[in-house]
Amino acid sequence: MSFSAPFPPIRSVAVLGAAGVVGASWGALFAHYGLEVRAQDPAPGLEERVRSFAARAEPALRALAPGAGPAGRLTFHSNPAEAAAGADWAQECAPERVDVKRALLAELDRAMSPGAIIASSTSALLRSDIAADCACHPERVIVAHPFNPPHLLPLVELVGPASDAPAVLRAAEWLRGLGKHPVILRREAVGHIANRLNSSIYREAVSLVEQGIASVEDVDAAMVHGPGARWAVLGPHLLYHLGGGPGGIRHYLAHLGPSQVRRWADLRTPELTEELQARVIEGVEEAARGRTIEGLEAERDAAILALLLARRGGT
């Protein structure tokens, strides 16, 4: 396949918004793989945040990718264009607001050489909206949405000007080299794939509480000990293929398709009233059992790491 633009080897990465959770996690990943990380953030304490996140993330990264070599150099910048100039890849992790991202991407587009790729971490905005002001080389402006925490979870969702655009294909190839599992969307959509699945589940998780079917804690327990333990292994399409028995998905849809349709009709959209929010908050606080956000994050990350290592050995 031929690329319309020659993409140079990627040695230096600018992370814009590097003091936030997503930016700091991307930064830790890039540095672990020996890339120069040019970290930028208007927030105070940038260097301390980036360095302490990278130090906390390093044991997990070493377990996942022990052969990645010496960590890359970190530099710190307050100005996006200065961080981006000379970098081969920009990972934009600014606040999730269309005006903020649109202006920042345009600034990066002006500052970076034509062969550099500019990737947005946006979780739900459309590429066409945030790239709208990129007048120089918009074809290399893409979405590369990681799933939190980016240094651990393999998924990166890619959206380009087309699903076979050179920048997207190049991004997929490069991200695979960083241990990621890139998925290229056929067309852009609010929430891409993963956050649409996420919203579908949250809608029902809130609805179950609203309808008095189960407590917040029991909804979460049902997920972790039931469907969640399967979705870490196979996706919904292949699972319903197995649900059809020897006849597979063809048998499933022919015989149980109508029952799915009936169940879809039974799913509700809860109204997120003050009262319902209060019930959800109370239930979450009960389920957290005094564990802090930081403690829960550490629990989550340790368990995700164990799962990723087990999956690697297990299949």
Q: Contacts with its own copies in 83-142 (CB under 8 A)?
A: 124
CB 267 within 8 A of CB 204: yes
- The 271-300 site mask, x for binding its own copies (CB under 8 A), equals -x----x--xx-xxx-xx----x--xx-xx
Query: For residue 250, how many C-alpha atoms fall within 13 Å in the half-sphere facing its CB?
Result: 2
Choosing from 11, 43, 200, 275, the residue that interacts with its own copies (CB under 8 A) is 200
Choosing from 126, 205, 210, 275, the residue that interacts with its own copies (CB under 8 A) is 205
Residue 8 makes contact with its own copies by CB under 8 A: no
- 55's CB contacts (< 8 A; 6+ apart) are none
Residue 242's CB is within 10 A of a number of other CB atoms, namely 12
Stretch that binds its own copies, among 32-40, 55-63, 132-140, 205-213 (CB under 8 A): 205-213
Choosing from 33, 157, 174, 175, the residue that interacts with its own copies (CB under 8 A) is 157
Q: Which is nearer to its own copies, 1 or 294 (CB)?
A: 294
Q: Which is nearer to its own copies, 113 or 148 (CB)?
A: 148
Q: Which is nearer to its own copies, 116 or 209 (CB)?
A: 209
Sign of the CA dihedral with 94 first, then 97, 100, and 104 last: positive
Torsion of CA 185, 191, 194, 197, to 10 degrees: -120
Stretch that binds its own copies, among 37-45, 58-66, 72-80, 195-203 (CB under 8 A): 195-203
Residue 152's CB is within 10 A of a number of other CB atoms, namely 22
Residue 28 makes contact with its own copies by CB under 8 A: no
Segment (H or E) for 145: strand 141-146
Give the nearest distance from C-beta 276 to its own copies in angstroms: 9
> Which positions from 172 through 191 interact with its own copies, judged by CB under 8 A?
181, 183-187, 189-191
Strands 155-159 and 141-146 come out as antiparallel
> Which positions from 208 through 267 interact with its own copies, judged by CB under 8 A?
208, 211-246, 248-250, 253, 257, 259-261, 263-267
Question: ∠ at Cα 230 (226, 236), nearest 5°?
Answer: 110
Give the nearest distance from C-beta 208 to its own copies in angstroms: 6
Choosing from 154, 162, 174, 178, the residue that interacts with its own copies (CB under 8 A) is 154
Give the nearest distance from C-beta 36 to its own copies in angstroms: 27
Q: In what order do the strands lie in the sheet with 141-146?
A: 74-77, 36-40, 12-16, 89-92, 117-120, 141-146, 155-159, 181-184
Q: Which is nearer to its own copies, 100 or 124 (CB)?
A: 124
Q: Is the peptide bond before 9 cis (omega within 30 degrees of 0)?
A: no
- 245's CB contacts (< 8 A; 6+ apart) are 251
Residue 55 makes contact with its own copies by CB under 8 A: no
Give the nearest distance from C-beta 140 to its own copies in angstroms: 22
Q: Which is nearer to its own copies, 113 or 207 (CB)?
A: 207
